[in-house]
């Protein structure tokens, strides 16, 4: 039996007026073009700004600010559509209007109805939107994988070297399978595995079965181990990935539930904020 080739059919990308959007859109357009996928760009325009600007803001001033932000979103969507059309990519733009706090939820709901979502790094986004909340919602409430694209990525190569962080967790397993569409055509796939520095610490996660699983999916992965005692794990992963010439990092996303909705775990947060190449994450 001949197996059908894997492909993405639809992709959503967050679009705003920030400079970082350009790299994000370039990546999304390149990915959609390679897969013949439909591309949906979503921008946000608030309908109220009082919680952000304080009660002293006059109605006329608030209306002017809201109108300006809406115009910026519309302009960003036009630029997004023009870039997609220039590459022959099917694309549509959508301006979501509402309360800032509700946008991450609404965006995540839209992401449920496509194959993958593309976002920017949290620190690079529109200050009107809770960028960390946007990433968190997409990771933990959309049911879809997310690719985080830096504002100025070191490089964008869709079929180059992919480094995948393996710790034996359910989140990492989910990320690996969701990322097969990228792993299969990659020129090189490296599994980064953290190992304890002493027998008293946690055992190395089982790796042979995962390597065999990937092989059955036509992914020939090599294994590189590093000691978890050498420093901050997130920074270690980034350093190892850079040394391996990685074009993308694949990993599972972790969170800790506290007094507010979702708080990203330490390693996940480090990767989100400091990665210099696209970061594929799933939960």
Total-model pTM: 0.88
Q: Residue 64 has which token pair?
A: 């002017």
Buried b (16+ CB within 10 A) or exposed e, 24-62: bbebbbebbbebebbbbbbbbbbeebeeeeeeeeeeeeb
Distance from the Cα of residue 144 to its chain's centroid: 10
CB-based contact 109:80 (threshold 8 Å): no
Q: What is the CA radius of gyration of the chain?
A: 20
DSSP strand pairing (255-256 vs 263-264): antiparallel
Structure tokens that stand for 119 in this block: 């976002």
161-282, superfamily in CATH?
HUPs (3.40.50.620)
At 54 the pLDDT is 47
Q: Under CATH, what is the fold of the domain 10-149?
A: Rossmann fold (3.40.50)
The ranges of the chain with pLDDT < 70 are: 1-5, 49-61, 124-129, 197-203, 230-231, 255-265
Q: Are 185 and 218 in contact (CB under 8 A)?
A: no
CA atoms in the 13 A half-sphere facing the CB of 115: 19
* Res 125: pLDDT: 62
Question: Domain residue spans in the chain?
Answer: 10-149, 161-282
In the beta sheet, which residues pair with residue 189? 162, 221
| Token representation of residue 156 | 């964008």
Hunting for tokens 């979702």 — which residue is that? Answer: 262
Residue 230 has what pLDDT? 67
């Amino acid at each position: 039996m001949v197996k059908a080739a894997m492909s993405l059919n639809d992709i959503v990308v967050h679009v705003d007026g920030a400079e970082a959007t350009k790299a994000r859109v370039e990546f999304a357009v390149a990915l959609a073009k390679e897969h013949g996928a439909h591309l949906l760009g979503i921008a946000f325009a608030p309908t109220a700004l009082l919680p952000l600007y304080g009660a002293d803001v006059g109605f006329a001033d608030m209306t002017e600010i809201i109108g300006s932000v809406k115009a910026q979103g519309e302009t960003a969507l036009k630029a997004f559509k023009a870039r997609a059309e220039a590459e022959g990519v099917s694309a549509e733009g959508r301006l979501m209007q509402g309360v800032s706090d509700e946008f991450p939820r609404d965006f995540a709901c839209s992401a449920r109805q496509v194959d993958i979502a593309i976002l920017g790094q949290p620190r690079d986004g529109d200050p009107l939107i809770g960028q960390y909340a946007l990433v968190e919602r997409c990771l933990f409430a959309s049911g879809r994988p997310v690719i985080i694209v830096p504002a100025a990525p070191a490089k964008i190569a869709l079929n180059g070297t992919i480094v995948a962080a393996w710790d034996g967790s359910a989140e990492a397993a989910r990320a690996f399978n969701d990322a097969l569409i990228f792993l299969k055509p990659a020129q090189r796939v490296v599994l980064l595995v953290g190992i304890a520095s002493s027998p008293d610490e946690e055992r190395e996660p089982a790796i042979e079965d995962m390597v065999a699983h990937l092989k059955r999916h036509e992914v020939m992965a090599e294994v590189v181990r590093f000691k978890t005692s050498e420093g901050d794990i997130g920074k270690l992963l980034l350093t190892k990935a850079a040394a391996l010439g990685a074009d993308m990092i694949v990993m599972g996303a972790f969170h800790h539930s506290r007094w507010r909705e979702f708080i990203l775990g330490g390693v996940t947060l480090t990767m989100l904020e400091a990665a210099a190449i696209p970061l594929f994450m799933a939960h």
